[in-house]
């Protein structure tokens, strides 16, 4: 371990303050390298730089393990609370953050279920997978849901980053144990979590489970909003002008259906 740290310092890495009780050492350089009390290293940054550093330090995951599932490289980190958000970039809808707690044996069960990054599943598959997870682990998940009106009310006093940080923190507070580590899928300005990692939903099965549960909740919200407005509201933010026009035609209050701080909404209202 000492030799690896010396290698990094020889390459120009330098020590910076740790950000959680689980960190033993944090080094900054071309990328960030974190040593946890479990003895595990986490390398964060641009993918090509991360891969190069991992190879040089001998931290690469064996190919045989990678083929089985990259989601379980970190399964020895005891209890993990993974959290993920959805609807952040959608014009319609509010904001949802979900968390899932899993110990090593529960992570293996999730693996057997076929749990993976939610973006790999259709809406129909998400509903089936989420129900399976919730039925098996009714006490292992937590969801914080903001509808559009609630989102718009909260965003008046803070920006979306502050709001996300708060929701991720609340999720962890509900699920954490004395030995758990909070893993957050990295977003701009994220300052919560013991481990903050890009594409965490493809590396930690607990985060993947959280992403599936969050997306199921988003599907439910869109169905409810569509029912209330009388037409199917669109996902994303690219092709939404026709739906915004319908809100005007129906004389419906925008704040009950869309994010008022979005530039495309503000431009449309002008």
User: What value does the mean pLDDT take over residues 151-175?
Assistant: 96
CATH 3.30.420.10 residue ranges of the chain are 80-223
Please say if the pLDDT value at position 211 is more than 80. yes
What span, in angstroms and rounded, lies between the C-alpha atoms of 228 and 127?
21
Please say if the pLDDT value at position 227 is more than 60. yes
Lowest mean pLDDT of 7-11, 89-93, 110-114, 117-121, name the range. 7-11
Show the tokens assigned to 58: 């001998």
Report pLDDT for 200.
92
State the fold for domain 80-223: Nucleotidyltransferase; domain 5 (3.30.420)
81 within 8 A of 172, measured Cβ to Cβ: yes
Show the tokens assigned to 11: 């390459």
User: What value does the mean pLDDT take over residues 36-44?
Assistant: 75
Each residue's pLDDT tens digit, 76-99: 558 999 999 999 999 999 999 999
Question: For residue 258, which of 266, 33, 250 has the smallest C-alpha distance?
Answer: 266
* 50, 61, 116, 219 from 209: Cα distances, Å: 25, 22, 7, 16
CATH 3.30.310.10 residue ranges of the chain are 2-60
User: Could you tell me the CATH superfamily of domain 2-60?
Assistant: TATA-Binding Protein (3.30.310.10)
Report pLDDT for 10.
81
Share of the chain above pLDDT 90, in %: 67
Report pLDDT for 59.
64
Report pLDDT for 230.
94
Separation of CA 46 from chain center: 18
Report pLDDT for 2.
62
User: What value does the mean pLDDT take over residues 32-39?
Assistant: 76
Confidence category of residue 36, pLDDT binned at 50, 70, 90: confident
Tell me the pTM. 0.73
Each residue's pLDDT tens digit, 11-29: 888 888 877 766 778 888 8
User: What value does the mean pLDDT take over residues 118-146?
Assistant: 96
Q: Between 32 and 3, name the one with better pLDDT.
A: 32
In DSSP notation, 27-85 reads EESSSEEEEETTS-EEEES-HHHHHHHHHHHT-PPPHHHHHH-GGGTTTTSSSEEEEEE
Average pLDDT, the chain: 88
183 within 8 A of 197, measured Cβ to Cβ: yes
Please say if the pLDDT value at position 63 is more than 80. no
Show the tokens assigned to 248: 């005007």
């Amino acid at each position: 371990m000492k030799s690896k740290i010396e290698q990094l310092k020889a390459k120009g890495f330098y020590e910076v303050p740790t950000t959680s009780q689980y960190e033993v050492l944090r080094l900054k350089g071309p990328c960030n390298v974190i040593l946890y009390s479990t003895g595990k290293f986490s390398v964060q940054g641009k993918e090509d730089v991360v891969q190069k550093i991992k190879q040089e330090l001998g931290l690469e995951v064996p190919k045989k393990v990678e083929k089985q599932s990259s989601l379980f490289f970190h399964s020895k980190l005891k209890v993990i609370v993974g959290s993920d958000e959805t609807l952040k970039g959608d014009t319609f809808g509010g904001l949802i953050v979900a968390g899932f707690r899993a110990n090593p044996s529960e992570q293996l069960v999730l693996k057997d279920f076929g749990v993976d990054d939610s973006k790999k599943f259709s809406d129909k598959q998400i509903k089936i997978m989420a129900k399976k997870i919730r039925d098996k682990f009714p006490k292992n998940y937590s969801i914080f849901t903001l509808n559009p009106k609630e989102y718009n009310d909260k965003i008046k006093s803070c920006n979306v980053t502050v709001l996300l940080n708060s929701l991720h923190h609340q999720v962890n507070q509900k699920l954490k144990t004395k030995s758990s580590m909070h893993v957050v899928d990295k977003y701009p300005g994220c300052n919560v979590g013991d481990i903050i990692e890009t594409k965490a939903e493809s590396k930690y099965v607990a985060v993947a489970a959280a992403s599936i549960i969050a997306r199921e909740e988003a599907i439910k919200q869109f169905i409810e909003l569509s029912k209330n407005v009388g037409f199917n509201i669109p996902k994303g933010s690219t092709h939404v002008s026709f739906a915004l026009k319908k809100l005007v035609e129906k004389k419906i209050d925008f704040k009950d259906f869309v994010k008022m701080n979005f530039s495309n909404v503000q431009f449309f209202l002008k």
